[in-house]
Structure 1
Amino acid sequence: MGTTWSVNAVLPPKADDAAVERGIQAQVDTVVAQMSTYETNSDLSRFNRAAAGTWQVLPAEFYGVLRYALSLAKDSGGAYDPTVGPLVNLWGFGPDKRPHDAPDAAALAAAKARVGWQRIQLDDAGHRALQPGGVYVDLSSVAKGFGVDQVARFLDRQGVHDYLVEVGGELRAHGSKPDGTPWHVGIERPGAASGAVDNVDEVGRIVSLHDKAIATSGDYRHFFETGGRFYSHHIDPRTGYPVAHKVASVSILADDCMHADSLGTTMTVLGPDEGMAYAKQHDVAVLFVLYKDDGTFEERMSPAFAKAVR
């Protein structure tokens, strides 16, 4: 996934540390093998290359994630869309190392014509998905969170009851630390240097995770500027353009990391007003950090987030 993982865990007596570590690695390796756009031999890449009109049998994990992603796309009115891949690639944020530049109108129209979650049909009985032709699925906004959940489920099966799992900065906790206190995680301040969350002055807020997951999406690491304009890596599938509102970062608290991950992208695309309305309607725990004109930041949190961090 182009990132790292870490696990803090209280292992049972006589547990084989090396075996647990191998098991964790196997979980994330499986997600990469199934859902990576960067691996040409992944099941996702195979689906994206498949001929038009063919039904593709998908592994159970991949099928379940795709099914959830399509349901969120429908529920969000297309603000979240797993078929956004052609636009992500066109703007230079995909695996093909395309140069960062604003595309011309013709290229944008061609890519946008390939986007549309409604074009994918599913067959639950056969775990199959229809490739209608030209559809390029990108699960980068949900697969990492799913990987966190897979590691958590593996630890549960191993009898590990107290852990904090992290993949690329997205986290899920269960139980408590050895001293009985909750797992505390820091939400980094927008603009903080990578890894600087270890420094207190780079932390915007500290959250205690009580059997919850948290994911934070920000625009301050993956972006480019050209012609005096700033372009975020978050693409609005409805318009074909990077989001243009004043969202610096979005943090989501949820029961599992798959939901936290994907809802973070959804809220970022919807923006603070439409997103907050969605959050209130669907009881989403979201924290928006917004840019202000004077260079400072403003926090806005949904009622569910405020209740969770009291």
Structure 2
Amino acid sequence: MKISGNLISKIFIVSFFFFFLSACQEKQQPPTEIVLSGKTMGTTYNIKVFPGQNSLSQAQLHDEVEQALKAVNQSMSTYIPDSEINQFNALPANTVMPISEDFRTVIEESIRLGQSTETLDVTMGPLIDLWGFGPDKRPTKRPSQLALDDMRSRIGIDKLALTDAGLAKTIPGLELSFSATAKGYGIDKVATVIESHDIHDYMVEIGGELRVSGKKPDGNWRIAIEKPDAPVGQRQIHRVIEPGKNGIATSGDYRIFYEMDGETFTHLIDPMNGRPVKHELVSVTVLHPSAMVADGLATALTVMGTERAKAYAQQHQLPVYLMYKSAEGIKTYASDEFKPYLN
């Protein structure tokens, strides 16, 4: 059969069209998994996202995540000279500073948690420094009672004035540190970015704190709780939980401590007496829809000690898992609200 040049041309055009369409479809095929990692807040972040049929690219999500974390850092990092928090810390007393939406969210929740728990105080950074756990060189001897009394008179969330116009301090020299809430807020901020694209299967981790949602292709998210009594230099799994759609934060006194005069001091300070805590509670894991709230509560409950932490969890119906020392070794407590998440 003789084929005309016109027909050959049409066949070529049709073939090219299908090749072009196939190539476009291949390029537009959404990724099955997006994995991101980087540095933020003096630590690292790791993110896993399963976008489903969403065409969001890894490059676009990475850029949006970086911008969100950069904004949180610029607002709340004490290591950035011109950050929002450093501007407030340098402010004279009784001067109102307008604050960003991010800053307001974190200070409002920090004040609420401080008032509720009485063991979380975002103004006690200088007190922590006094004991040697801040950015300054740690002391070679414990602070005197006089130094502690003087420091306690110059800290406290009751010395903050938050209004619609902004934030002020009622005494000179008051400083803020969001070390117990900013990291969790950064996680929540990233989760908001992801969910703005109508994506609900993800995991966001910053410095060991997490927030998960939905599922992985092979099933539910499963998160390990670490053994607090593992050998030095080793990390071992104690229990595995399936946290559902929640933020997960763990706090404990088993990693940051030093010894002085035969006595062990943890990095956790009780704002009520100005001293490092001394009790048997070594690890607290909290679940909450907000990673920021979970982060703050984990710290606050650890400062409380076992019995106070149990009572607070029961009063507020919180999903809480505690590990504490006993003569028989490490014992555990799971609140009724936490038990459904145990694997």
* TM-score, normalised via structure 1 length: 0.92
| Equivalent in the alignment of 1:112 | 152
CA–CA distance in structure 2, aligned partners of residues 156 and 127 of structure 1: 29
Aligned AA for 1:218?
Answer: G
| Equivalent in the alignment of 2:43 | 3
- 1:277 equivalent in alignment to 2:311: yes
Unaligned 5+ segments in structure 1 are none
| Equivalent in the alignment of 2:95 | 54
| Equivalent in the alignment of 1:186 | 224
Change (3 A) 1:156 1:131: farther
1:131 Cα deviation from its structure 2 partner: 5.0
CA–CA distance in structure 1, aligned partners of residues 115 and 86 of structure 2: 23
1:195 Cα deviation from its structure 2 partner: 9.2
Change (3 A) 1:249 1:289: same
Q: Choose which of 193, 199, 211 in structure 2 pairs with 1:172.
A: 211
Q: Which structure carries more relative contact order (alpha carbon 8 Å, separation 6+)?
A: 1
Counterpart mapping for 1:132-143 below 5 A:
132-143=171-182
Aligned AA for 2:45?
Answer: W
CA–CA distance in structure 2, aligned partners of residues 196 and 80 of structure 1: 30
CA–CA distance in structure 2, aligned partners of residues 42 and 131 of structure 1: 21
Please identify the structure whose Cα radius of gyration is greater.
2
Q: Choose which of 88, 111, 121 in structure 2 pairs with 1:70.
A: 111
Q: Choose which of 253, 260, 265 in structure 2 pairs with 1:226.
A: 260
Q: Would you say the 8 A contact 1:5–1:167 is kept in 2? A: yes
| Equivalent in the alignment of 1:126 | 165
1:99 Cα deviation from its structure 2 partner: 4.1
| Equivalent in the alignment of 1:19 | 60
CA–CA distance in structure 2, aligned partners of residues 69 and 196 of structure 1: 33
| Equivalent in the alignment of 2:330 | 297
Aligned AA for 1:139?
Answer: F
CA–CA distance in structure 2, aligned partners of residues 134 and 42 of structure 1: 17
* CA-based RMSD: 1.9
* TM-score, normalised via structure 2 length: 0.83
Change (3 A) 1:41 1:194: farther
For these two proteins, the number of residue pairs brought into alignment is 302
1:158 Cα deviation from its structure 2 partner: 2.2
Q: Would you say the 8 A contact 1:286–1:302 is kept in 2? A: yes
Identity %: 36
Deviations 1:60-97 (A, max 9, x none): 11111101111111112x21111111211111112234
Q: Secondary structure at the match of 1:111?
A: helix
Change (3 A) 1:49 1:298: same
Q: Choose which of 150, 174, 182 in structure 1 pairs with 2:189.
A: 150
Deviations 1:249-278 (A, max 9, x none): 110011110110000011111111111111
Unaligned 5+ segments in structure 2 are 1-40
